[in-house]
């Protein structure tokens, strides 16, 4: 008996693949969180890891991987005594941005950077995929023209 193909049956076949992507995303999230809490040193520290995270937090207007509480119990908090780094502040250098004041939402960015980075990655991958598909279509026309020429020449 032939299998009847419906949109639901196609989706059912894709679910294990989608679950695999979710699992990869979750592993990446956890790895990013663990390495941030272990390796982040502070705002003006010369190491590449801290410098890159500061840049990400400032440019994307976010704090930590999941949210601003990621630094709680981290090596950064143990060393510096601050609850969050200056990169999390909405306006760096203000008096309210003291590394401890988290009670108000106007001082620091409350949301984490992982979801924003994931969104950028998805957007860029769609753009790259579209460009590759366009190049493939152009190449396909050339391949077909060459094939027809060879057939004509015998």
55 and 122 part of one domain? no
Identify the residue with better confidence: 128 or 13: 128
Q: How far apart are CA 65 and CA 135, in angstroms?
A: 36
User: What is the percentage of the chain residues whose pLDDT exceeds 90?
Assistant: 4
52 and 122 part of one domain? no
Q: How far apart are CA 21 and CA 10, in angstroms?
A: 17
Model confidence over 25-43: pLDDT tens digits? 677 767 777 777 777 787 7
49 and 68 part of one domain? yes
Domain span at residue 142? 113-154
12 and 67 part of one domain? yes
Would you place residue 4 in the very low, low, confident or very high pLDDT band (cuts 50, 70, 90)?
low
Q: How far apart are CA 6 and CA 14, in angstroms?
A: 13
86 and 153 part of one domain? no
């Amino acid at each position: 008996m032939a299998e009847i193909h419906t949109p639901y049956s196609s989706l059912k076949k894709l679910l294990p693949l989608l679950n695999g992507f979710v699992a990869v995303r979750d592993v990446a999230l956890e790895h990013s969180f663990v390495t941030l809490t272990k390796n982040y040193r502070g705002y003006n520290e010369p190491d590449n890891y801290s410098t890159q995270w500061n840049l990400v937090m400032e440019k994307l207007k976010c704090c930590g991987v999941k949210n601003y509480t990621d630094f709680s119990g981290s090596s950064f908090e143990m060393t510096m005594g601050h609850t969050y780094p200056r990169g999390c502040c909405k306006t760096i250098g203000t008096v309210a941005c003291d590394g401890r004041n988290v009670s108000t939402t106007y001082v620091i960015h409350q949301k984490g950077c992982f979801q924003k980075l994931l969104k950028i990655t998805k957007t860029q991958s769609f753009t790259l995929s579209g460009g590759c598909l366009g190049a493939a279509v152009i190449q396909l026309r050339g391949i077909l023209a060459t094939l027809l020429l060879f057939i004509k020449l015998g």
